[in-house]
Amino acid sequence: MWIAELWRYPVKSMAGERLAEATLGENGITGDRIVQVLGPRGRIVTARTDSWLLGHRAVLGADGEPVIDGRPWRQLRLPEGYQLRRYEGVDRFDVLPLLVATDGAIAAFGRDGRRLRPNIVIGGVEGLAERTWEKRALRVGETLVGIEKLRQRCVMTTYDPDTLAQDVGVLRDIVARFDGRLALNCWVVRGGTVRVGDRVELAG
């Protein structure tokens, strides 16, 4: 097995960036989800309720600050009542800091893997083997990633990552064929730098 893809999402619920390498630490990939969107009531909003967020693309600039649609994040104009806030607490993640998917499960899913919003995609995995990996670990060189359990999927999977067109049948299909769960909730046991192409071993 090997690392096939690496993804970072500097702004929560916006489209992210594909990486050649990434640094993993206590809070997952450095620079992941470090800015949040607050709605008119001052609460965090996501694409589950505000799907238009997926139409913005965020990358991390050389200075460590997010750039949205080519502009510094503080310059982005949002609808009235919405604002951006930088926040790097560990509770900024919906579940755990890393989401790991496999090429086998994505192939079985039969749709664009970006709908699952993974941080790491592992290649060379046969079929739905990831479903037997709960409570184990993934070793990439000196880096170790702990696996908790399969991720319960939500309405965000129903939006096309390019057109934002919604197909509610996608989530129904995930429920029917995969018990509503795809990809793995993970955390970093031992950090380090990982790169696309690095060998991955299943441990534990």
pLDDT on residue 94 = 87
Running DSSP on this structure, what letter comes out for residue 175? H
pLDDT on residue 204 = 83
pLDDT on residue 89 = 85
> How many Å apart are CA 112 and CA 61, to the nearest integer?
26
**Which CATH number belongs to the domain containing residue 175 in this structure?**
2.40.33.20
pLDDT on residue 115 = 98
> How many Å apart are CA 119 and CA 106, to the nearest integer?
14
Residues of the chain with pLDDT below 70 are none
Give the pLDDT confidence of 13-63 residue by residue, as tens digits: 999 999 999 999 999 999 999 999 999 988 999 999 999 999 999 999 999
How many folded domains does the chain comprise?
1
Q: What tokens were used for 2?
A: 């090997």
Longest dimension (CA), the chain: 50
Domain that holds residue 139: 2-203
pLDDT on residue 90 = 82
pLDDT on residue 151 = 98
Q: How far is CA 24 from CA 5, 28, 30, 140, 143, in A?
A: 14, 5, 6, 11, 8
Q: How far is CA 160 from CA 15, 45, 95, 137, 185, in A?
A: 11, 19, 23, 31, 22
